[in-house]
Amino acid sequence: MKAPDLLTPTLWKDYELIDSGRFEKLERFGSRTLRRPEPQAIWEKSLPEEEWRRLADCTFRREGRSEDRGEWICPPRMSDRWSVEYRYREMSLRMRLGLTSFKHVGLFPEQAENWNFIYDSVRRIAAGTSRSETPGRPRVLNLFAYTGGASLAACAAGAEVTHVDSVKQVVSWSRENMEASGLDGIRWIVDDALKFVRREVKRGRIYEGLILDPPAYGRGPEGERWILEEQITELLGLCSRLLAPGPSFLVLNLYSMGLSALLAKSAVNQLFGPAADEQFGELYFTDRAGKALPLGVYYRFFRN
């Protein structure tokens, strides 16, 4: 069995991990430098506290004992919205960022490596389809799609994209990103991912690309409970019935601490079958001092 791959995006001009340590990270997103919690940064910081304070435009302060909820401390009159850009081959994405009460900003920059894979996979399928007797746009389903970086990558490559997320405001945010990137045609669905997939299986729908980015815990629009360890097997089993038997691809991201890339590989292989062209491992960024910060695990394949 091949060893897991460690992937870090190398094409970002609008993102940099400056320093990390003592359960925090200092990051530059375009014109803003942010300081926020990071549970995996268990080591010491490389820069002194005075430098962190000098560089940080905004700092996230936790609310009580909560790991994720809190507030941003910023200079007076500083806007809480700004934009960044990402380019890969002919793809040019522009995404609006914002400071949320859950410490997130609307972008997981490590996912750029998967955006590249999605873009290349859609183009690869489209190139093969264009030579067949039944040309058409590859269909891609993005579940737990958040603000849509993966949806934009698939759309930019020419896919017919269905974007599913349970939070209406986040779907609206995704639409803003689509329009800012000069794209259109994405199908927006506000729904519980598991419920939506069950219905798609009953409808007999088929997709050439599946993207799954499930959280550890979550709630659907009607309060549906999502617990990753309890429901991921059912979700993957249903998705295996949605993926086209011909040229197709799958991307699975896992952020829950304690879950490994080998676990993702085993779960997918059991339900989809072994894939010859597969990759799995960790996504990470390295700060200026050379400390590698793991930011999630991934599994992906392309099959002919």
pLDDT digits (tens, 9 = 90+) for 149-162: 999 999 999 999 99
Question: Domain with 115 in it: what CATH number?
Answer: 3.40.50.150
- Contacts of residue 59, defined as CB under 8 A and 6 or more positions apart, other chains included, come to 34, 35, 36, 72, 73, 74
Tell me which amino acid residue 187 is.
R
How many whole angstroms separate alpha carbon 249 and alpha carbon 264? 15
Give residue 176's domain range. Answer: 5-303
Is the entire prediction scored with pTM above 0.85?
yes
Q: How many domains does the chain have?
A: 1
DSSP state, residue 294: E
Is the pLDDT reported for residue 220 higher than 90? no
Contact 214, 197 (CB under 8 A): no
Q: What Rg do the C-alpha atoms of the chain give, in angstroms?
A: 19
In which band, very low, low, confident or very high, does the pLDDT at 256 lie, cut at 50, 70 and 90?
A: low
Say what the pLDDT of residue 17 is: 98
